[in-house]
Structure 1
Amino acid sequence: MSVQAPSAVVMIRPRHFTPNPETAGDNAFQTVPHPERALDEVAAAAYDEVTRVADRLSEEGVTVHLFDDDDPTRADSVFPNNWFSTHAGGRIAVYPMYAPSRRTERRADIVEMLKTQYRVQDVVDYSGLEHDGQYLEGTGAMVLDHVIRVAYTVRSNRADPIVLERFCSQFGYEPMVFDATEDDGTAIYHTNVLMCIGTSFALVGLEMIRDARRRAEVAESLAEPGREIIELTSQQIRDFAGNAIELRTTSGRILALSTRAAASLTPEQRAVIEESCRIVPLDVPTIEHAGGSLRCMVAGIHLTRRPVVAPVESEEAVLSG
């Protein structure tokens, strides 16, 4: 068992995927698909990539709750981890989104599914804070350490310190806020492209935390539960090596990440990961044009599953049998 690695996830399969021009201003990881690719071809490729990822994770033993999205106005709906998170003890958080075009991604049917299939005691909805210009884009803006209860957060337009403090107070995390930039000084837009916290290791682009003292504090905190720190270069971060997620299966833990991310790892880094996890590369090149990768595509479920109750036969049926 691992409180860090969920065994179930929510994924969204969009029919109208495209890199979102509204989010490109502060997401330097976004790129433009090849100009010769028509929009419908890009959307179809993304749909197929999600299908293949969901199928592969299911084959690995991860429970995948897959929802389709037919709304042509939701370019980024493939990234559900930004608008909700789930927590042990039966709690769900719903988050305020920075880009207005992303706010309709929040779906009541997904929350209702979670209530039906898992034990949910409380849904805390922060989305109304959008009216006050305050945002916190879920487990994109925060990377949560469920073991020592720390919320690592890069300062950005998408992580308001007031909302962060409120979330941490209500959900029992300690905020650890820091600045991180690319080599040219561009701010990292989401913490989950910078780091991935597993049970026995943490992948993190420490060199992008420019303040040496804060860098050491982050490294010390990540290592506190006995994790081995795997330092990623800025190029590996650009290749989405930090945008990975550890998942739990009946046969052990896996590290799900994109094929691009996996290819960027050194043999030494892979060896550390493989001491406790099996690496599962997944091909999502079209979706990566939107500035996110595998971790962004899955919302982990840290809730307790409701028991499956067999239907009770009527007395008449039992007697007649």
Structure 2
Amino acid sequence: MLQNKKPKAVPNQISISRNVNTQNANCVVMVSPKEFSFNPETAVDNEFQQQSELTQEQVHQHVMSEYGSMVQGLRAEGVQVVDFDYTLSEKPTPDAVFPNNWFSTTTEGELYTFPMACENRRHEVRADELIASLNASGRNVEKIDSLQEYAEQNAYLESTGVMVKDHVNRTIYAALSQRCDREVLEEYAKRIGYHRVISFQTALESGHPVYHTNVMMAVGESFSVICDEVIPEFERRFVIKSLSKSKQVISISVEQMNQFCGNILQLETVNGNKVIAMSQSAYDAFSPAQLAQLSTHGKLLPFDVTTIESIGGGSVRCMLGEVFLPTRKKLL
């Protein structure tokens, strides 16, 4: 954790006038799993990862098929997908398929990059290439900011992996862990003008915290899904009370969390229709009553990403980097 550290000044920082944010993005960045494999560095604290008996060639075939089907499925529903095909380097990035951990965007045109806990995941941060891809897709980046310097102090904040945002109410929910430092979290919230940060402890059966908040909870425009039983009781009541003020709260069990029922994301199509992306594993693990509740908030879009989520320890939401950047205006 940080000890009496002051954030460095941001060069060329410009004043941003912030409007009321929309909850859902209608554009996402997805990254091909062309280097995908079991990552022993992340497995240290990611209890969702599993070794596979498949050969690496078989794994590659499976994950490329899963990825392609998900890209095609989202586009067919009217969600814009920026297929970010990065340049290979000497240092492989086995978890690049999970881009939501290293960047985030705002409706004011800001792009933020974040300090990653695992050394080999830091090589995923390719801001210049990402900006080029976003610009080519008609999305403008007006300002770049970074908190990556905190990695030098062993303080990490893995973007929307550890931060689940209620954009409408300018509130961030975050489970504290090695990958989510409280002081960096509060610094980021201050920079983007979010006035409430609700951070809390979690504990799995092993006694270890949940490695990423977005595997245990999701927040949509008017609903939330949360595995609240992993939160200590005195904090649990506060979190649920906060969510309940403006959301329908759908509570899931640890068993359902292990099937990635918390790792879902509400999106909008270009026509403004609501959809909820999730894995087939999550869809199958929700009860009929829970599916009925979720269906009132958008069309359910289950994708089979079994290989990616079992080996990588992350699922559909982790594969989606939301793009809130303004759309470039066409010249007349």
What is the TM-score of this pair, normalised by structure 1? 0.91
Residue of structure 1 equivalent to 2:113: 94
Moved more, 189-198 or 123-132: 123-132
Moved more, 169-178 or 254-263: 169-178
Distance in 1 (CA, whole Å) between partners of 2:143 and 2:84 is 22
Residue of structure 2 equivalent to 1:272: 293
Equivalent of 1:166 in 183, 187, 212: 187
Spell out, residue by residue over 1:247-298, the C-alpha distance to the aligned partner (whole angstroms, 9 max, x if none): 1012610110000000000111111111121111001011102110000000
Query: Once the 2 structures are TM-superposed, how far is the Cα of residue 231 of structure 1 from its aligned partner?
Result: 0.1
* 1:235 and 2:235 aligned: no
Equivalent of 1:299 in 321, 324, 330: 321
Spell out, residue by residue over 1:22-63, the C-alpha distance to the aligned partner (whole angstroms, 9 max, x if none): 110100011111x2x111221221122111100100000000
* 1:65 and 2:82 aligned: yes
Distance in 1 (CA, whole Å) between partners of 2:320 and 2:235 is 29
Unaligned runs of 5+ in 2: 1-19
Residue of structure 2 equivalent to 1:245: 265
* 1:110 and 2:130 aligned: yes
Q: Is the 8 A contact 2:113 2:146 kept in 1?
A: yes
Moved more, 279-288 or 44-53: 44-53
Distance in 1 (CA, whole Å) between partners of 2:242 and 2:45 is 28
Residue of structure 2 equivalent to 1:54: 71
Distance in 2 (CA, whole Å) between partners of 1:100 and 1:185 is 25
Unaligned runs of 5+ in 1: 311-321
Equivalent of 2:100 in 66, 81, 104: 81
Distance in 2 (CA, whole Å) between partners of 1:291 and 1:258 is 13
State how 1:279-294 maps to structure 2 within 5 Å.
Answer: 279-288=300-309, 289-294=311-316
Query: Once the 2 structures are TM-superposed, how far is the Cα of residue 114 of structure 1 from its aligned partner?
Result: 2.9
Moved more, 231-240 or 166-175: 166-175
State how 1:125-274 maps to structure 2 within 5 Å.
Answer: 125-173=146-194, 174-209=196-231, 211-225=232-246, 227-249=247-269, 250=271, 252-274=273-295
Per the alignment, in what secondary structure is the counterpart of residue 186 of structure 1?
A: coil
What is the TM-score of this pair, normalised by structure 2? 0.89
Number of aligned residue pairs: give it.
306
Distance in 1 (CA, whole Å) between partners of 2:171 and 2:61 is 38
Q: Is the 8 A contact 1:16 1:40 kept in 2?
A: no
Distance in 1 (CA, whole Å) between partners of 2:21 and 2:83 is 23
Distance in 2 (CA, whole Å) between partners of 1:2 and 1:163 is 22
Query: Once the 2 structures are TM-superposed, how far is the Cα of residue 303 of structure 1 from its aligned partner?
Result: 1.5
Query: Once the 2 structures are TM-superposed, how far is the Cα of residue 2 of structure 1 from its aligned partner?
Result: 8.1
Per the alignment, in what secondary structure is the counterpart of residue 14 of structure 1?
A: coil
Query: Once the 2 structures are TM-superposed, how far is the Cα of residue 82 of structure 1 from its aligned partner?
Result: 0.3
Distance in 2 (CA, whole Å) between partners of 1:42 and 1:13 is 13
The two structures, once aligned, show a CA RMSD in angstroms of 1.6
Distance in 1 (CA, whole Å) between partners of 2:325 and 2:244 is 26
Query: Once the 2 structures are TM-superposed, how far is the Cα of residue 216 of structure 1 from its aligned partner?
Result: 1.1
Spell out, residue by residue over 1:202-248, the C-alpha distance to the aligned partner (whole angstroms, 9 max, x if none): 01001111x212111111111222x1000000000000000000010
Spell out, residue by residue over 1:174-214, the C-alpha distance to the aligned partner (whole angstroms, 9 max, x if none): 211101122332210000001010112101001111x2121
Residue of structure 1 equivalent to 2:11: none
Q: Is the 8 A contact 2:115 2:155 kept in 1?
A: yes
Distance in 2 (CA, whole Å) between partners of 1:278 and 1:119 is 29
